[in-house]
């Protein structure tokens, strides 16, 4: 049987998935085309489906050139960068990859928390640099013990999986979201400042986009306080990065662990320079062979279902 044609807007960040796409489809690779619009116009009659990462919007002029496009399948659960409202306005269905990455991202949220609180990266540098020999034992770190509270902003699939892990560390859990969840026993806070005030650790795991832009601002960080630990595995846009740098510099909070940034892959010197109280990661929370492979398989399964006339598996609700 002939392979179905698809548009591939950009590379997805897993080589195994890139290979599978080429095995299963005739994938027209937009980002490699010297004249993208000419490519879109040429393939337009046969293109009903596109693959993209949740971070790269398909430009409007390309959408204009593809009147038969009916489905955009995203690689990732967060689709804040995919211009979903515009796709919905055009009647194009969007799919994402929820659930298959939940446990992996939750593991990483805890790993980042532990690395930040116990200064694991600094300790690694201390050994390799010879400081252990020259200066003796490294200074004490912060601690997760003693009945501390983790405030979670965004108690969804991943937030709940982090909460479950945090309970095993004897942390108390509280949360903020737009709505109180009646089936959840954790304490609810209607605003992030009150949550931060009662939290020792603030863990952010909301979607990105305009609805959460700078939800964590100077006031939230001030409320978290000088012994507060801030962890972000959500999106860089959820935090006012300048306010975060200022709060860390002024020791208004103790430390931060960050997997996501406002302008990835660029990280401001203000953050990169802070070696003692900041742990930085290059958007790695779902980045294992197993999970990236499962995300790719789900993204592909959505397109296959659509092409077979079946309901897509994981549509994004608009």
CB 245 within 8 A of CB 270: yes
Nearer to ligand NAP, 46 or 264 (CB): 264
The binding track of 101-130 with respect to ligand NAP, each residue x by CB under 6 A or -, is x---x-------------------------
d(CA 168, CA 171): 7
Q: Which does 75 bind (CB under 5 to 8 A by kind): ligand NAP, ligand 8YV, none?
A: ligand 8YV
Tell me the closest approach of the beta carbon of residue 69 to ligand NAP, in angstroms: 24
Q: Does 213 bind ligand 8YV (CB under 6 A)?
A: no
Tell me the closest approach of the beta carbon of residue 218 to ligand NAP, in angstroms: 18
d(CA 282, CA 199): 26
Q: Does 285 bind ligand NAP (CB under 6 A)?
A: yes
CB 146 within 8 A of CB 170: no
* Residues from 5 through 64 that contact ligand NAP (CB under 6 A): none
d(CA 60, CA 36): 12
CB 9 within 8 A of CB 51: yes
Nearer to ligand 8YV, 13 or 149 (CB): 13
Note the Cα 109 to chain centre separation in Å.
11
Tell me the closest approach of the beta carbon of residue 293 to ligand NAP, in angstroms: 15
The binding track of 294-313 with respect to ligand NAP, each residue x by CB under 6 A or -, is --------------------
Tell me the closest approach of the beta carbon of residue 308 to ligand 8YV, in angstroms: 25
Q: Does 257 bind ligand NAP (CB under 6 A)?
A: no
Structure-block tokens of residue 14: 């897993």
Q: Does 288 bind ligand 8YV (CB under 6 A)?
A: no
Structure-block tokens of residue 56: 């790269």
Give catalytic residue positions. Answer: 235, 264, 283
Tell me the closest approach of the beta carbon of residue 213 to ligand 8YV, in angstroms: 16
Stretch that binds ligand NAP, among 1-9, 18-26, 45-53, 97-105 (CB under 6 A): 97-105
Q: Does 216 bind ligand NAP (CB under 6 A)?
A: no
CB 44 within 8 A of CB 68: yes
* Residues from 48 through 107 that contact ligand 8YV (CB under 6 A): 53-55, 75-78, 101
Q: Which does 53 bind (CB under 5 to 8 A by kind): ligand NAP, ligand 8YV, none?
A: ligand 8YV
Report whether the peptide linkage leading into residue 265 is cis, meaning its omega lies within 30 degrees of zero: yes
Q: Does 226 bind ligand NAP (CB under 6 A)?
A: no
Question: Residue number with the shortest CB distance to ligand 8YV?
Answer: 76
Binding-site member from 81, 177, 236, 257 for ligand NAP (CB under 6 A): 177
Q: How many residues does the chain have?
A: 318
Residues that bind ligand 8YV (CB under 6 A): 13, 53-55, 75-78, 101, 283, 286
């Amino acid at each position: 049987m002939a392979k179905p044609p698809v548009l591939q807007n950009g590379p997805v960040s897993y080589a195994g998935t890139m290979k599978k796409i080429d095995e299963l489809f005739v994938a027209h690779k937009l980002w490699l085309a010297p004249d993208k619009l000419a490519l879109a116009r040429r393939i337009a009659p046969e293109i009903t489906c596109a693959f993209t990462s949740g971070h790269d919007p398909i430009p409007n002029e390309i959408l204009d050139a593809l009147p038969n496009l009916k489905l955009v399948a995203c690689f990732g659960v967060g689709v804040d960068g995919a211009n979903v409202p515009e796709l919905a306005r055009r009647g194009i269905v969007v799919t994402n990859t929820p659930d298959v990455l939940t446990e992996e991202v939750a593991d990483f949220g805890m790993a980042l928390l532990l690395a930040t609180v116990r200064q694991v990266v600094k300790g690694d540098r201390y050994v390799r640099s010879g400081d252990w020999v020259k200066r003796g034992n490294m200074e004490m770190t912060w601690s997760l013990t003693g009945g501390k509270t983790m405030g979670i902003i965004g108690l969804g699939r991943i937030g709940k999986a982090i909460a479950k892990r945090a309970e095993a560390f004897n942390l108390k859990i509280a949360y903020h979201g737009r709505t109180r969840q009646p089936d959840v026993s954790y304490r609810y806070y209607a605003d992030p400042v009150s949550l931060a005030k009662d939290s020792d650790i603030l863990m952010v795991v909301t979607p990105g986009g305009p609805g959460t832009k700078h939800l964590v601002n100077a006031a939230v960080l001030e409320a978290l306080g000088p012994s507060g630990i801030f962890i972000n595995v959500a999106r860089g846009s959820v935090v006012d990065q300048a306010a975060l740098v200022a709060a860390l510099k002024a020791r208004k909070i103790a430390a931060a662990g960050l997997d996501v940034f406002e302008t990835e892959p660029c990280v401001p010197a203000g953050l990169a320079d802070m070696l003692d109280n900041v742990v930085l990661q290059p958007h790695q929370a779902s980045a294992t062979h197993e999970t990236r492979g499962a995300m790719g398989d789900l993204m592909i399964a959505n397109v296959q279902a659509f092409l077979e006339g079946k309901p897509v598996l994981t549509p994004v609700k608009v």
